Amino acid sequence: MSAAIRVLLADDQALLRGTFRLLIDSTPDLEVVGEAGNGREAAKLSEELRPDLVLMDIRMPVLDGLEATRLIAADPALAGVKVLILTTFEQDEYVAEALRAGAGGFLGKGVDPEELLRAIRTVAGGESLLSPAATRALIARFLAQPSDTPSVTAPLDALTARELEVVTLVAAGLSNEEIAGQLFVTPLTAKTHVNRAMTKLGARDRAQVVVIAYESGLVRPGSGH
């Protein structure tokens, strides 16, 4: 049996952390390894505990969740730590900002328990919560706009023609299996192309590939991707 996914909870409300802990710890393949009441603690505990995933609130004292996410994403030693933003503040701009900060996904706190557990597994596995059409629309709308926040940049000319094609499909929210269907290749081949593109772009995960695709101009709103 594979090891359980190790989760760090970051929320300033102790009652919510307790609720999430009960839910997560009751699931055989997931476990809570720590709790943080603010963003500073979340970044510190990420260094100490090296969780697989941080379930991160945005609005927290001392340091908010977006800044904490940036700290985690900027630390090469924490490259294996994924961040899933879970918040009551579901404004569109927060989605774009969370992805720019390095988050692998974004959910509202109104999600049902099973959806949250699936999201944890998805983001911890290196995928991103970008497939719903509504989320793609938000990404297209906001990541295409200029931002004062420096984004991850990398020369797209380092990519092969096939890798560029794969990046546009990742930006559309397609899974490896869906990309394989589009390109008439095996899922393993699609995964290989995605991983090579991520490496060349210096992207932590698929969410950052989407950020790069939009902010570089490779993909634009209304382009079909």
Poorest-confidence range of 95-109, 124-138, 150-164, 172-186?
Answer: 124-138
Q: Kindly state the helix (H) or strand (E) to which residue 95 belongs, with its residue range.
A: helix 92-101
Residue 175 has a pLDDT of 79
Whose tokens are 């000319």? That residue is 157
- Which tokens belong to 162? 């096939």
CA angle 175, 100, 180 (to 5 degrees): 15
Helix, strand, coil percent values for the chain (each to nearest 5): 50, 10, 35
> How many CA atoms lie within 13 Å of 62's alpha carbon, on the beta-carbon side?
14
- On the question of pLDDT at 217 being above 80, the answer is no
Residue 47 burial (CB count, 10 A): 13
pLDDT band at 136 (very low <50, low <70, confident <90, very high): low
- From CA 107, how far away is CA 149, in angstroms rounded? 22
Poorest-confidence range of 70-79, 107-116, 119-128, 148-157?
Answer: 148-157
- On the question of pLDDT at 214 being above 90, the answer is no
Q: What is the dihedral of CA 113, 117, 123, 128, to 10 degrees?
A: -50
- From CA 141, how far away is CA 133, in angstroms rounded? 12
Decide: pTM greater than 0.85. no
- Identify the CA nearest to 31 among candidates 3, 68, 1: 3
- Identify the CA nearest to 139 among candidates 18, 39, 225: 225
Whose tokens are 């695709």? That residue is 213
